[in-house]
Amino acid sequence: MSQKWYQKASVQTALVSGVFLLVGISIPYVFKVPKLKEAVSRLQRETSDKTARIQELEIELTPFRTLAIKEYSRSDAETLRRLAETMVGLRKDYSEALATVTSLQTELESLQAKMAPRSLTLEQQSSLQDRLKAFSGQRFTVLTYQDDQETLSLSNMIYRVLLSSGWSYVNTRQFLGFFLITGVEVGVAPSRAQDFGGAADALAFALSMQGIAASVKTEQEQDKTHPDLIVVRVGKKPSMSEGQPSK
């Protein structure tokens, strides 16, 4: 009888340990990248601990299954059944934790992409060239903010792509300054819209396809300043709240 009492106590002890040591996971859901990274890291550690504990309990449970079949009374078998149900609950907690980790990691990657500077990979630049070579010889200039490294870098990439596509650069010695532009504006003078519209549309569309927010702008002022050019104005990166795509 003492041996059976000890075996029964072991089962109950395992049950209590499983219930109190492995409880639900609570993860703060935040949107700031540093805190989100910390939350993901902590949840991954907790998930790993749960996995290890589940494996330990499964190992501990193996001899009890055998003994329950051979020697236990119905009361002991019921205790073992409750322990098995607890194990099922722990597995569910683990699955939910894993799904939460995956969701947070996806959100983190999305936030990082939105915060990253706009850029064009070599493959994307090659794709742009393929689209724009049809307008080889088109005269253009590029304007941007001189005090913003992000816009300068993107401007240089667009400049190189257009040159490689056979477009003809004209240095107007101008830059953007006292007014705010977001995204890339492809400017065309109304008087030349019929002549340059196809090239301007192709450039804006090609940039948009690569995740760079861009649009065609037709303004009367350009008839006075640069009617014979497509003026590419590389503005500030659109804010996250504007919902513009970025690279």
Q: Where are the domains of the chain?
A: 2-115, 122-242
C-beta of residue 230 within 8 angstroms of C-beta of residue 199? yes
Cβ-Cβ contacts under 8 Å for 160 (sequence gap 6 or more): 125
What confidence score (pLDDT) does residue 151 get?
94
* 58 has a pLDDT exceeding 90: no
Q: Summarize the confidence of residues 170-184 as an average pLDDT.
A: 91
CA dihedral sign, ordered 142, 208, 34, 53: negative
| Pick from 117, 121, 116, 135: nearest CA to 203 | 135
Q: What is the pLDDT of residues 5-40, one digit of tens each?
A: 334 434 444 433 443 333 343 344 344 556 667 767
- Tell whether the model's pLDDT for residue 130 goes beyond 90: yes
Q: What is the DSSP string of 116-168?
A: SPP---HHHHHHHHHHHGGGTT-EEEEEEBTT-HHHHHHHHHHHHHHHHTT-E
pLDDT score recorded for residue 99: 79
Confidence of residue 4 (pLDDT cuts 50, 70, 90): very low
Percent of residues, the chain, with pLDDT higher than 90: 44
Q: Are the C-beta atoms of residues 137 and 167 closer than 8 Å to each other? A: yes
Q: HSE, CB side, 13 Å, CA atoms: give it for residue 51.
A: 10
Comparing 158 with 98, the larger pLDDT belongs to: 158
**pTM exceeding the 0.75 threshold for the entire prediction:** no
Question: pLDDT confidence of 55, banded at 50, 70, 90?
Answer: confident
Spatial CA neighbour of 69 closest among 117, 148, 7: 7
More confident residue, 6 or 218: 218
